[in-house]
Amino acid sequence: MTAKGSIWKRYGYAWVTLGFFAITLVGHWLFGWFSYVSEQQAHAQPIQFSDYLVLMMRDTFENWQSEFLQLLWQVGGLAFLLYVGSPQSKEGDDRMEAKIDAILKRIDPENAERLIQAIDDNYSGRHTDARHAHR
């Protein structure tokens, strides 16, 4: 396990969401099968998996187009863009880090640079690089 936690903890929300997605997709197709079989029997038609597959693919993509993709882009797309560091998300982070650095330098001028460097060493990544660019 790393200092930031395991992949299961760091992405726990994504794993739960993926689980819900898989369960509901399987349920959708399973109950769709029961409905298809019932409808075919009611009309004395043969039960063919290929017909069921086409019907369920159409229904699934229709649902995704009208609801899932819209929500996915509005919520997931925005969260992803903020996570990967689009220019809009980095501006706020860089500004906040610069302010915190300034506060540390005011509170403890003798030790501020050492403390900032220790924090940077503990939390390496894109924010550390951005902070050094502002100095």
pLDDT at 135: 46
Q: What is the pLDDT of residues 39-50, one digit of tens each?
A: 999 999 999 999
Q: What is the pLDDT of residues 114-129, one digit of tens each?
A: 988 988 888 875 444 4
Question: Can you tell me the mean pLDDT for 43-60?
Answer: 95
**∠ CA(131), CA(101), CA(5), 5° rounding?**
65
pLDDT at 126: 47
What is the residue extent of each domain of the chain? 1-84, 86-135
Question: Can you tell me the mean pLDDT for 56-66?
Answer: 88
Classified as helix, coil or strand, 70 is: helix
pLDDT at 29: 96
Distance from C-alpha of 130 to C-alpha of 75, rounded to nearest angstrom: 26
Is residue 104 pLDDT above 70, yes or no?
yes
Question: Can you tell me the mean pLDDT for 71-98?
Answer: 74
Q: DSSP secondary structure string, 39-95?
A: HHHHTT----HHHHHHHHHHHHHHHIIIIIHHHIIIIIIHHHHHHHT-HHHHHHHHH
Residue in this structure with the two tokens 């396990």, named with its chain if needed: 1
Does pTM top 0.75 for this prediction?
Answer: no
Is residue 131 pLDDT above 50, yes or no?
no
